[in-house]
Structure 1
């Protein structure tokens, strides 16, 4: 009789330690996955840089009037598909509600012809990084630990404690489903 062990990811404190030991670049924007870029508000507002990078899709994880108030109109002259999430970098904010919609948007962008996706928040280290990590877990089948290591090789990231816990819960859920959500056609 086989014993089924449940997947238990590292505690948040250990995940934070992994991030402290694997520090990547601290620039305005970095490619963290093929054709997937993670960055800050400075780059989000630099249309010339976005054009030069060939960005076709922008996911703003700090959208809103009192945050980074870009939108479809701002990028109209660049022919960029835009998705805005009014998220707050607060450990009590439920970012997990946006994990699947964000993963779907990123995946669609990467699957489009010559698609390049730029995901950002104010600094590109917490909200946007958390959504990129969720995408890698949901669509690419990576564990949270592997996603953290992969992204942090290219960019210094620091999701807040609450976001890391939400990503841990996603990791547990995906492990319980055999990490097959993308193969089931759900994303």
Structure 2
């Protein structure tokens, strides 16, 4: 093993991540701030415009977009100043969420850079939305997958499906390799 490879912390196996995700669980509400000005919530939160206004939400990422899922979309928010980003994802282990990691991270990063507040949601705010937030923390903040999980789990119980966890592990390995080369 080269010294470059030795300095890269290995991505834990999926079973190790599941253990971390299930450790120290505590009651969490419909919406939680998991990073400064970044919230994870459920569908009911996303559909409650008064709550969104009270939270100061300026941007919404719907990780369950589309007519077969939670069909809010930009039209739903037209009477607000909320900017919308939809990801038409299915919460099943075979769905490839990874093509959406970068574009969603860019949307969240742009919003936070503009002093906005972002709600990322899916149906229950546990799997799809959590996976996208973890990817953002890894891509834009520079956290490892384990660090990102620990940060989010301080405020919210999450449990991305095994397929999404595997995709996040791949992302973690790719980012670690990139970091070791710079």
TM (norm. structure 2) is: 0.94
Q: How many residues align?
A: 180
Q: Which residue of 1 aligns with 2:146?
A: 145
Match of 2:161 in 1: 160
Aligned mates of 1:31, 1:136 — CA distance in 2: 13
Match of 1:45 among 32, 47, 68: 47
| 8 Å Cα contact 1:58/1:117 also seen in 2 | yes
Alignment match, 2:122 = 121
Unpaired runs of at least 5, structure 1: 182-187
Q: How far did residue 106 of structure 1 move?
A: 0.4
1:103 paired with 2:105, answer yes
Q: For residues 179 and 119 of structure 1, what CA distance do their matches in structure 2 show?
A: 30
Q: Does 1:90 align with 2:92?
A: yes
Report if aligned partners of 2:61, 2:85 keep a CA contact under 8 Å in 1.
yes
Unpaired runs of at least 5, structure 2 = none
Which residue in 2 is equivalent to 1:10?
12
SS of 2:111 mapped into structure 1: helix
Q: If each structure's helix is expressed as a fraction of its own residues, which one has the higher value?
A: 2
RMSD: 1.7
Q: What is the CA deviation profile of residues 144-163 of structure 1, one whole-angstrom value per residue up to 9, with x for unaligned ones?
A: 00000100110000000010
CA 1:176–1:71: 2 relative to 1, 3 Å: same
Alignment of 1:65-80 (within 5 A): 65-80=67-82
Contact kept? 2:61, 2:120, Cα under 8 Å = yes
Residue 32 of structure 1 corresponds to which residue in structure 2? 34
Q: Deviations over 1:55-98 (max 9, x none)?
A: 00000000000110001111111111100010000001000010
Which residue number corresponds to residue 184 of structure 1? Answer: none
Name the TM-score, length of structure 1 as normaliser: 0.92
Instruction: Output one character per residue of 1:22-63: Cα deviation in whole Å (capped at 9) or x when no partner.
Output: 324421000000000000001000000001111000000000
Instruction: Please list every run of at least 4 consecutive aligned residues from structure 1 whose deviation after the TM superposition is greater than 3 angstroms.
Output: 1-4
Q: Distance in 2 between matches of 1:180 and 1:87?
A: 33
- Partners of 2:166 and 2:23 in 1: how far apart? 19
Q: What secondary structure, in the 3-state scheme, does the structure 2 residue paired with 1:178 have?
A: helix
Distance 2:76 2:94 in 1: 30
